[in-house]
């Protein structure tokens, strides 16, 4: 804590538990952090898929049926929204967090962001090709 003596009767404004609802930017931040829960959920979902595939065609088909039940679909729709939020915020903050240099020149923020979307497109195309070919 501070070594300077705080005035005995100085007023300290308490921080509300709901401080992250006080401003739009705080709320977006809280949602960004919450996206990690959906990242973890989808890892669990993919593990269940892998497990079902390992146990044979019947198990795989019944996993797909279960994944089509309304509550799982809704959960995965919400997951998609949060995963996209994570992706957009992560890409946007990268140029602020890292300095990239090419031949001594600092790469501008827009170029860093754009190259991440190019990477996303390449990866997505590869995954789609690998899974559906």
Partner 1 sequence: MADSIRLQVSRYRPEEGSAPTLQEYDVPLRKEWSVLDGLNYVKDHLDSTLSYRWSCRMGICGSCGMSVNGTPELTCGTFLADLAPGPVRVEPMRNFPVVRDLVVDIGDFMDKLPRVKPWIIRDDEPEPDGEYLQTPEELDEYKQFSMCINCMLCYSACPVYGLDPDFIGPAAIALAERYDLDSRDRGARERLDVLIEHEGVWGCTFVGECTTVCPKHVDPAGAIQRYKLKAAKESVKAFLLPRGAR
Partner 2 sequence: MTKRRVEPILWLLFSAGGVLAAVFLPVLVVLFGLAFPLGWVTPPSHDHLHAVLGHPLTALFLFGLFALCLAHWAHRFRYTLYDGLQLKGSKGLITVLCYGGAVLGSVVSAVVLATVV
Closest CA to 107 of 94, 117, 119: 94
Q: Using CB under 8 A, which of the segments 5-13, 51-59, 106-114 binds partner 2?
A: 51-59
* Contact between 30 and 20 (Cβ < 8 Å): yes
For partner 2, the binding residues in 89-108 under the rule CB under 8 A are 90-91
Partner touching 62 among partner 1, partner 2, none, CB below 5 to 8 Å by kind:
none
What span, in angstroms and rounded, lies between the C-alpha atoms of 75 and 28?
20
Interacting residues with partner 1 (CB under 8 A): 1-7, 9-13, 15, 19-20, 22-23, 25-26, 29, 33, 93, 96-99
- For partner 2, which is the closer residue by CB, 72 or 111? 72
Given the DSSP bridges, would you call strands 101-102 and 105-106 parallel, antiparallel or unpaired?
antiparallel
User: Residue 121 Cβ, how far from partner 1 at the closest point, in Å?
Assistant: 25
Give the Cα separation of 126 and 33 in Å (integer).
28
How many CB atoms sit inside 10 A of residue 90's CB? 13
- Least distance (Å) between residue 127 CB and partner 2: 5
Judged by beta carbon, residue 99 or residue 104, the one nearer partner 2 is 99
């Amino acid at each position: 804590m501070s070594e300077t003596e705080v005035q005995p009767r100085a007023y300290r404004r308490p921080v509300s538990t709901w401080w992250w609802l006080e401003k739009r930017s705080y709320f977006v931040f809280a949602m960004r952090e919450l996206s990690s829960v959906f990242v973890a959920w989808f890892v669990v979902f993919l593990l269940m898929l892998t497990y079902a595939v390992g146990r044979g065609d019947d198990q795989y088909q019944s996993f797909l049926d279960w994944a089509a039940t309304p509550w799982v679909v809704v959960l995965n729709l919400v997951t998609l929204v949060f995963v996209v939020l994570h992706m957009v915020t992560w890409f946007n903050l990268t140029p602020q967090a890292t300095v990239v240099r090419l031949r001594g020149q600092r790469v501008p923020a827009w170029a860093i962001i754009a190259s991440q979307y190019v990477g996303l497109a390449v990866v997505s195309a590869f995954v789609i090709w690998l899974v559906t070919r």
